[in-house]
């Protein structure tokens, strides 16, 4: 899979094969989804510097997320699935790379949940598309954890407030480790999906239980928003969501797409200026 990472204060692009990271010259994965994924040269050097993985997409146009798109998760959330694909948005400050720490905001210990999800990355856009054409917009797949401040989400919903904040704290969207080109995933609706916390299985399902085809999802979204290259779509989570606590390690693994691993920390970092702290936008 194609990955973005930082080493020696530089943003680099690589190809991850198991534990082996090859350095490749080229643009970030954001551009690859539009321009195509380059062949990996046979003599690509192995990366030897210490690396910090960056999100699988550095600067998405939009991050759209399906709500209750697996029946069993809708039921554990206290309702039936909606009669059509319904979506909400997460904000890009939430993006996090593979192996980086999810931070639990002060006062929300024990109330922040994991949601393992298959994510789509679009390589082209459009609006008012029919399902077969919409399905063709997907350039790549990756793995997402739609981290959610559950009690805050429920409290805001009960008050009739938008619950965007419950989904968009910094670090609440691990995405990666990298992009798998769509051409390499034979059937995105026939993949096992598993979430483990400290090695214990919390969510186990298959993408085939998603209530809609990928074409149906994108077709529906395209009636409300113009889809664009670089948009990311989270297809929703199956049942088994549950709390993350400081000290935990959460893994989301999707067959043929990747295994996204993140430790969980308390947020003792405080606030302050962010200038220079997150160079994702240099992608
Ligand atoms: Mg979700």
Phi/psi of residue 272, nearest 5 degrees? 130, 180
Mean pLDDT of 50-77: 95
pTM of the entire predicted model = 0.94
pLDDT at 276: 45
Distance 256 CA to ligand 1 centre (A): 20
pLDDT in tens, 144-155: 999 999 999 999
Distance 240 CA to ligand 1 centre (A): 12
DSSP secondary structure of 37-102: PPPPPTTPPBP-S--EE--SSSS-S-EEEEES-BHHHHHHTTSPPPSS-EEEE--GGGEE-TTPPE
Domain presence at residue 160: yes
User: Structural domain of residue 192, as residue ranges?
Assistant: 53-276
Q: Which residue has the higher pLDDT, 270 or 203?
A: 203
pLDDT at 26: 84
Distance 237 CA to ligand 1 centre (A): 5
- What's the CA angle centered on 122, arms 135 and 55, to 5 degrees? 140
Strands 2-7 and 10-17: antiparallel
Distance 183 CA to ligand 1 centre (A): 25
pLDDT at 256: 97
Domain presence at residue 282: no
Is the pLDDT at 229 greater than 70? The verdict is yes
Domain presence at residue 22: no
Domain presence at residue 12: no
Mean pLDDT of 42-55: 96
Distance 127 CA to ligand 1 centre (A): 23
Distance 118 CA to ligand 1 centre (A): 10
Q: What distance in Å separates the CA atoms of residue 283 and residue 279, rounded to the nearest whole number?
A: 8
Distance 261 CA to ligand 1 centre (A): 17
Domain total for the chain? 1
Distance 151 CA to ligand 1 centre (A): 15
CATH of the domain at 257: 3.90.850.10
Q: What distance in Å separates the CA atoms of residue 210 and residue 148, rounded to the nearest whole number?
A: 20
Is the pLDDT at 282 greater than 70? The verdict is no
Domain presence at residue 27: no
Mean pLDDT across the chain, nearest whole number? 93
């Amino acid at each position: 899979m194609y990955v973005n990472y930082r080493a020696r204060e530089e943003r680099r692009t690589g190809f991850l094969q198991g534990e082996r990271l090859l350095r490749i010259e080229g643009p970030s994965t954001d551009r690859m989804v539009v321009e195509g994924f380059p062949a990996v040269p046979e003599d690509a050097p192995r990366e030897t510097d210490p690396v910090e993985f960056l999100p699988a997409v550095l600067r998405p146009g939009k991050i759209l997320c399906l709500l209750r798109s697996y029946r069993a998760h809708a039921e554990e959330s206290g309702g039936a699935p909606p009669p059509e694909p319904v979506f909400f948005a997460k904000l890009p400050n939430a993006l996090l790379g593979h192996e980086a720490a999810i931070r639990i905001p002060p006062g929300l210990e024990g109330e922040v949940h994991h949601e393992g999800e298959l994510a789509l990355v679009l390589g082209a856009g459009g609006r008012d598309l029919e399902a077969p054409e919409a399905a063709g917009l997907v350039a790549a797949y990756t793995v997402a954890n739609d981290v959610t401040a559950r009690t805050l989400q429920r409290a805001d919903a009960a008050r009739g407030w938008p619950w965007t904040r419950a989904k968009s704290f910094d670090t609440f969207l691990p995405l990666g480790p990298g992009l798998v080109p769509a051409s390499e995933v034979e059937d995105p609706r026939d993949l096992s999906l598993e979430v483990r916390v400290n090695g214990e299985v919390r969510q186990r399902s298959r993408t085939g239980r998603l209530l809609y085809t990928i074409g149906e999802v994108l077709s529906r979204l395209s009636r409300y928003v113009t889809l664009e290259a670089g948009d990311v779509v989270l297809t929703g989570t199956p049942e088994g969501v549950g709390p993350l606590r400081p000290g935990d390690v959460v893994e989301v693994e999707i067959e043929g797409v990747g295994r996204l691993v993140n430790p969980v920390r308390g947020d003792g970092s405080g606030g302050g200026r962010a200038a220079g702290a997150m160079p994702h936008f240099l992608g």
